[in-house]
Amino acid sequence: MAFQCNYNIINSLISTEELLRIDGQSQRIKGIIDTGKTAVVYKLEIGGQYFALKKCRERFENIFHHEVQIRSKIEEIKTQNPVLSQYIVDTIYACSEKGIILSQWVEGNEISHFNESIFERIFDALLEIDKAGLFDFDLHKSNILVDGSGFVKLIDLGGMYSYNPLTEYNNYGFTYPTYHFVERFETRFFLRSLLLEEYNGISRSSVLLKYRIEKEKALKCYNLKREWLSERGADSQVVKWIEGFLTQWSQALKSGTKLYELYARELFRSCIIDLPHSINGGHLDKAIIKINEILRILNEDYDCIFTKENICSDFCNANKREYLLEKYSKILDRIYMQQDRERYYD
């Protein structure tokens, strides 16, 4: 599959054949991002402008093919909804067979701190993307930039899928109610960040203050989403689902105790959901931090986490603390053993 949008901007300056030949030795390269699992990204200078060339790594062709497909869908949506270009990087050329994606280079910075303004900008962007029928599973910090105009912009689209927000929870329809865009931001980025802050000695009161601000902004955002859904005659099941989050969050914001109980539930959920990313990505130190937090919550805050609202893929084995303690203790032991083997062979 291949498509191009506005390729005439650079067509006279570089051919697709030259894009294919580009490697680390090319004179056009002004920077390289080589930390991604599925692709390497080159910052190219073409005709005095900067572009991002993403080249697929071997064995990740299927994932890359999906990203080409969703980018084509996004550019099609942008023709009817151009405001999305503020929030999602523009793709110029993409070809899954050739294993390349060329897009605009976004001059910006990763989000390094959280405050009211940044939460508002994040949720404004995610709400607009959601209303356009797009759901991003991978809201990792490296996939989100704040550009020179102050807009939050998504730059890696491999985890994005299309869906109908009026009739579905997410791209899985009604199958997985756990996943929604605030949860994705929390699991893949925000709650990860708070967990690491606590691990590095930041007080829980400081962490909970940030969490309160985030929940206030999330509540405002989902009130807007509920209004939008109602105005468009959305499926009653979807509206009720969103109203469930509004009820949980508004109740939690009424007292410090209730806020901590929600924090414990959502942190527990996020650690469980995000743990495979850390293990499969080889980030074993972060996996250990997450497992220790899971065990801590099971031991200290068990009564907080098992409520009818707290839905997680691991809860099918419901409310048996001993089962989960044993399960995650065994995973922790295997990780320690793996680290010992790696140190031995080093």
Question: What is the per-residue pLDDT across 222-250, written as a single tens digit (0 to 9) for each?
Answer: 999 999 999 999 999 999 999 999 999 99
Which 3-state string (H, E, C) describes the chain?
Answer: CEEECCHHHCCCCCCHHHHHHCCCCCCCEEEEECCCCCEEEEEEEECCEEEEEEEECCCCHHHHHHHHHHHHHHHHHHHHCHHHHHCECCEEEEECCCCEEEEECCCEEECCCCCHHHHHHHHHHHHHHHHCCEEECCCCHHHEEEECCCCEEECCCCCEEECCCCCCCECCECCCCCCCHHHHHHHHHHHHHHHHHHHCCCCHHHHHHHHHHHHHHHHHHHHHHHHHHHHCCCCHHHHHHHHHHHHHHHHHCCCHHHHHHHHHHHHHHHHHHHHHHHHHCCCHHHHHHHHHHHHHHHHHCHHHHCCCCCCCHHHHHCCCHHHHHHHHHHHHHHHHHHHHHHHHHC
Answer whether residue 3 shows pLDDT above 80.
no
**What's the pLDDT tens digit per position in 205-220?**
999 999 999 999 999 9
Pairing mode, strands 39-46 and 49-56: antiparallel
Best mean pLDDT range from 36-45, 106-115, 211-220, 263-272: 211-220
Task: Tell me the average pLDDT across 304-333.
Answer: 72
Instruction: Count structural domains, the chain.
Output: 2
The arithmetic mean of pLDDT across residues 67-77, rounded, is 94
pLDDT band per the 50, 70, 90 thresholds, residue 7? low
Name the residue range of residue 194's domain: 108-345
Do 137 and 197 lie in a common domain? yes
Q: Is the pLDDT of residue 76 over 50?
A: yes
Could you give the percent of the chain with pLDDT greater than 70?
Answer: 93
Q: What is the pLDDT of residues 16-30, one digit of tens each?
A: 888 888 888 888 999
pLDDT the model gives residue 341: 83
Residue 299: what pLDDT? Answer: 93
Average pLDDT of the chain is 91
Residue 311 has pLDDT above 80, yes or no: no
CATH number of the domain to which 27 belongs: 3.30.200
Q: Select from 69, 104, 139 the last residue of a domain.
A: 104
Q: Is pLDDT at 313 greater than 60 in this prediction?
A: no
Last residue of a domain, one of 73, 104, 135: 104
In the predicted structure, residue 14 carries a pLDDT above the cut 60: yes
**Alpha carbon 343 to its chain's center:** 32
Q: Which of 83, 104, 125 is the last residue of a domain?
A: 104
Res 309 pLDDT > 60: no
